[in-house]
């Protein structure tokens, strides 16, 4: 039995109270169909939580999202999904740090999440700021530098003259890979076949979320 912690309820640790399980494949399908509704202005905020359960009784997220803090990109909105369905961690540049990893580990170990999606977005200011530094500009200063240093390696492998969108995509893929590389708990879940980690980017222009290949375990 998984220990209950951080205010999680017994229902959280033991699975959905209705006994039904949403597979990572079905969860991904739900995210894609929700984004389709969002794109076409047909949002219904569909709920994948057990019917009739009050939010105070627990939460049953079908996925964890690592998204950017940008005020234009709200996961619940872009995936057209109701509260209790997504476990969301956000920061500028959707980077992976220790606190993000702790949150993801909690979602996987205690809430039964089997799908993590790192989701960048077009015209990301954090990635743009990093591009400026890579091109020879000064670091922005303060704690923003921490974000830049986290994003910077993703840009190193890109060809000279790459676009901002290519950098955004590379950064999202990097975050997905880091989630697996930097967390033993997430890596073990992946190796046990209980976790899928996928990267994605959201377009501010056409509102579409583009999904990329699943992150793989890097040989050591």
> Which residues here bind Zn ion, judged by CB under 5 A?
68, 70, 124
In the complex, the smallest distance separating the C-beta of residue 69 from Zn ion, rounded to whole angstroms, is 7
In the complex, the smallest distance separating the C-beta of residue 76 from Zn ion, rounded to whole angstroms, is 17
Select 62 or 179, whichever has its Cβ closest to Zn ion. Answer: 179
Select 21 or 72, whichever has its Cβ closest to Zn ion. Answer: 72
In the complex, the smallest distance separating the C-beta of residue 201 from Zn ion, rounded to whole angstroms, is 10
Alpha-carbon torsion, ordered 171, 147, 149, 130, to 10 deg: 60
In the complex, the smallest distance separating the C-beta of residue 122 from Zn ion, rounded to whole angstroms, is 9
Select 2 or 164, whichever has its Cβ closest to Zn ion. Answer: 164
Select 88 or 108, whichever has its Cβ closest to Zn ion. Answer: 88
**Which of 177, 182, 185, 173 lies closest to 217 in space, CA to CA?**
177
Question: How far is residue 78's CA from residue 92's CA, in Å, rounded to a whole number?
Answer: 17
Q: Which residues, 6 or more positions from 33, have their beta carbon under 8 angstroms from its beta carbon?
A: none
**Residue 17, class by beta-carbon neighbours within 10 Å (0-12 exposed, 13-18 middle, 19+ buried)?**
middle
Select 44 or 164, whichever has its Cβ closest to Zn ion. Answer: 164
In the complex, the smallest distance separating the C-beta of residue 203 from Zn ion, rounded to whole angstroms, is 13
**Which of 123, 103, 122, 121 lies closest to 113 in space, CA to CA?**
103
Which letter does DSSP use for residue 125 in this model? Answer: H
Select 68 or 179, whichever has its Cβ closest to Zn ion. Answer: 68
Locate 207 and state its tokens. 């509102």
CB 194 within 8 A of CB 188: no
In the complex, the smallest distance separating the C-beta of residue 97 from Zn ion, rounded to whole angstroms, is 15
């Amino acid at each position: 039995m998984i220990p209950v912690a951080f205010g999680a309820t017994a229902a959280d640790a033991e699975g959905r109270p209705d006994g039904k399980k949403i597979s990572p494949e079905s969860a991904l399908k739900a995210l894609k169909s929700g984004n389709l509704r969002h794109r076409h202005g047909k949002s219904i905020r569909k709920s994948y939580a057990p019917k009739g359960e009050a939010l105070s009784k627990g939460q049953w997220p079908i996925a964890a999202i690592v998204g950017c803090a940008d005020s234009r990109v709200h996961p619940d909105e872009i995936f057209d999904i109701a509260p209790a369905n997504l476990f969301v961690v956000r920061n500028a540049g959707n980077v992976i740090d220790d606190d993000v990893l702790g949150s993801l580990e909690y979602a996987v170990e205690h809430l039964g999440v089997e799908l993590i999606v790192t989701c960048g977005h077009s015209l990301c200011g954090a990635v743009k700021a990093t591009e400026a530094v890579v091109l020879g500009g000064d670091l922005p200063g303060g704690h923003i530098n921490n974000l830049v240093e986290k994003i910077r390696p993703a840009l190193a492998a890109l060809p000279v003259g790459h676009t901002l969108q290519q950098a955004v995509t590379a950064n999202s893929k990097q975050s997905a890979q880091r989630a697996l590389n930097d967390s033993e708990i997430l890596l073990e879940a992946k190796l046990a076949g209980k976790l899928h980690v996928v990267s994605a980017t959201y377009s501010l222009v056409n509102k579409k979320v583009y999904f990329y290949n699943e992150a793989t375990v890097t040989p050591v």
